Structure 1
């Protein structure tokens, strides 16, 4: 062991028992995470969320989709939802995918069988479930056992000949001993163990334990493939052991995906640093806060939907009207781009214009919708208290240019909402906005760390991002793409764009 190596596991003080953190320094971030989680839990209790509620189904599905997407793997939403429903014992006729089923089983096992010991056999069964065919892509890998190859286990990016080594894990021969130490610590620090043996000392904070467990496991990187997904399942298990929550309310993997570059940066920094991992614990706590904020907004929408339908009891709405109203509710405040009009209503329901006009008029008179504009420019919005849909209540212009003016206003509102969304994602990832591109000729190099409908945010170093309007670009990048972006005369050219699945292969 030496302290001159960049990797944490080569340090002389690499843990004989555990990684450590300064509880006092981490306390403010942890306290805020607990506060927001408490708010989220209170909202869930208020509406009686159950394990088969739509919110719970969506949260588990989101976790599955996101933990795979972090690795650059895009799963079918239909296959994921179908697998989740079967896992929960619900009827479904959706598609079956063995790889999806395996990932759902891993996450479900981690969050339900929380009192079953986490040992080598269980981890190896998790890894086998992720690769039911014994291959990763077209390559055969060691499945159901720790890696045993003699080559260094490295995380790299870049083109052949220009690779960048982001991390090198302990050699395969050391993995069994390293994992035995980790699993002993995980068992000894579990809430159940701390309760059974209170004399062992002050128990570690549950959120901090989840953070340390993830970093420690990822630093060992015991398998040939699947370490990231299994490491996040260990986080799920540690959080479930601590919170004893029967219903999943949030998705940490979704938050990690939203801030994927920051997630990798924080891990890499911790794996090159001291065995005091306070900075990592604080960053992790902030991600819990952000994930709970996002979940809280979802529950707010569920509460609003419930209140809306409670008010409609006995209203005599036709089924097609209910279908469209539900779509508007699901899209949220301002989410139905451009508002609803008769033409859109006709396409959604397959009825005549006369019937569409009559339906819309009835819903305005019944208080389910309110209208804005006149003539061909009239738009309809669902009537939910506090939802303005970005529309001013002033009278729309009248005359031949009225419809054009309404379309322009709708585009402006959509643009502003898109920019607000990407700024919120940036802030949740711990970045600050340096500027919006297009104002002057410049070159930007770095990964995309946040996206919205019309904007992307590119990390340009020092936790600074620049926001691009995608309508100014010659092609639209995706989350995780690493770009060389050149702006000239207000328009951007995307050069040397690597696909998202070429990002760090964690």
Structure 2
């Protein structure tokens, strides 16, 4: 197969801009809604939401690569990097590194994307790794950089990147385009198109020995935010994780061509879906504030701990609902105390009960509509 970087016109990507107009309009409309809803958040809730979004992105962008991180450790590390109070738990290098990259991304979102930023992100992403030759710098190895699956005797090559000797020059061209295409640059490009193009271009160069996927998704997040008058977190990683197989397939198809309209449409659909997920998270935080305000001064420490743990699970909540056993694990309460605490929470309107006996489950009194998948056909 001939890869896009092997074609004569590389890196002159092309696309059908009119086909992306509806997607760009929907994205900007969603930004306006998110800004309007976010104005109702107080400072504490806004800070809590930012930490939640950053931790979800950190965990999910790593999960796309098959790496499972501890949620509480990631949140603790993010809080520490933001200078906020938190527990003093020991955090493993992987959790600490991706947390630091997320804080760096969102605190410096308006700053230009340059080589120093990318190298810094790479050091964060591979924090604690001892198996890599090139950390915080472009790859230098002589072997081909390939993405391969299948058995050793019959591997399937999904992609092969340019040789290491070409990476420096390729990245100069990429970063020059990033600067020119920004709002106010010499050749500005609309947010979705710029972010989608940057993602496939960066992944095609694959400049680092490892961590390119996480860095590429961080680039997309940064560029989406830069394209808005008021930067809003889109939260792409969680949606891409939900569509991981389709995501990899879309990338693989795009690696073989310079005409990337289909890729940009797919990326745009998932960005809009991600935006809707984030908006649901904002609405959930507002609902949390209303519920907890109604319970102020009425809960004991155990009940408050359980309620906050349920809210921490997000709009999708506890899978299968909260059981008495869950409550006992969270609070350390014995059976009789658990029964009284849960009954009181139901009576106060803090929880809703369903089922009977062993099938009894408890839910937050908040209804959140599921986010349906946004597809290319929806953007026609």
- SS of residue paired to 1:75: coil
TM-score (norm 2): 0.84
Aligned residues: 375
Structure 1 residue 109 and structure 2 residue 104: aligned?
Answer: yes
Shift in CA distance, 141/47, structure 1 to aligned 2, threshold 3 Å = same
In the TM superposition, residue 169 of structure 1 has moved relative to its aligned partner by 1.4
Contact 2:240–2:270, Cα closer than 8 Å, also in 1: yes
The answer to whether the aligner puts 1:67 opposite 2:61 as a matched pair is yes
CA contact (8 A) 2:149 2:155 kept: yes
Say if 1:82 and 1:95, in contact at 8 Å, map to a contact too. Answer: no
Q: Give unpaired runs (5+ residues) of structure 1.
A: 195-199, 388-419, 432-506
Q: Given that residues 345 and 351 in structure 2 are in contact (C-alpha distance below 8 angstroms), is that contact kept between their aligned partners in structure 1? A: yes
Match of 1:140 among 132, 145, 155: 132
**Residues 51 and 104 of structure 1, relative CA distance in 2, 3 Å threshold:** farther
Q: Which residue of structure 2 aligns with residue 207 of structure 1? A: 192
Does residue 39 (structure 1) correspond to residue 33 (structure 2)? The answer is: yes
Instruction: Name 2:365's counterpart in structure 1.
Output: 384
Structure 2 unaligned regions, length at least 5: none
1:46-61 aligned at under 5 Å gives the runs: 46-48=40-42, 53-61=47-55
Shift of 1:182: 0.9
Equivalent in the alignment of 2:254: 270
TM-score by length of 1: 0.65
**CA-CA distance at 1:104 after TM superposition:** 2.7
For 1:143 and 1:373, the matched residues in 2 are separated by: 54
Partner of 1:146, secondary structure, is: coil
What corresponds to 1:156 in structure 2?
Answer: 148
Report what 2:227 is aligned to.
242
How much does 1:7 deviate?
0.9
Change (3 A) 1:303 1:271: same
Aligned twin of 1:233: 218
1:298-342, Cα deviation, whole Å (9 max, x unpaired): 22222222112223346x44333334444555566884636656x
Give the drift of 1:270: 0.9
> CA shift at 1:231, angstroms?
1.4
- Structure with a larger share of its residues in strand: 1
State whether residues 325 and 382 of structure 1, in contact with CA within 8 Å, keep that contact through their aligned partners in structure 2. no
Which of 106, 110, 123 is equivalent to 1:128?
123
The list of structure 1 runs, each at least 4 consecutive aligned residues, that deviate by more than 6 angstroms after superposition, is none
Q: Which has the larger radius of gyration?
A: 1
Q: CA deviation at 1:216?
A: 0.6
Change (3 A) 1:351 1:33: same
Instruction: Pick from 284, 305, 329 the counterpart of residue 301 of structure 1.
Output: 284
The corresponding residue for 1:89 is: 83
Aligned-residue RMSD, C-alpha: 3.3
Contact 2:310/2:317 (CA < 8 Å) preserved in 1?
no
Distance 2:123 2:308 in 1: 41
In 1, Cα distance between the equivalents of 2:110 and 2:280? 31
Q: Which residue of 2 aligns with 1:499?
A: none
CA shift in 2, pair 1:10/1:338, >3 Å: closer
Structure ranking higher in helix proportion: 2
Residue 504 of structure 1: aligned partner: none
For 2:328 and 2:211, the matched residues in 1 are separated by: 47
Contact 1:99/1:131 (CA < 8 Å) preserved in 2? yes
**2:3 corresponds to which residue?**
7
Distance 1:266 1:206 in 2: 19
Corresponding residue of 1:319:
301
Residues 352 and 204 (structure 1), Cα distance of their counterparts in 2 relative to 1, 3 Å cut: closer
Q: In the alignment, is residue 80 of structure 1 matched against residue 74 of structure 2?
A: yes
Q: From the superposition, tell whether residues 276 and 50 of structure 1 become closer, same or farther in structure 2 (CA, over 3 Å).
A: farther
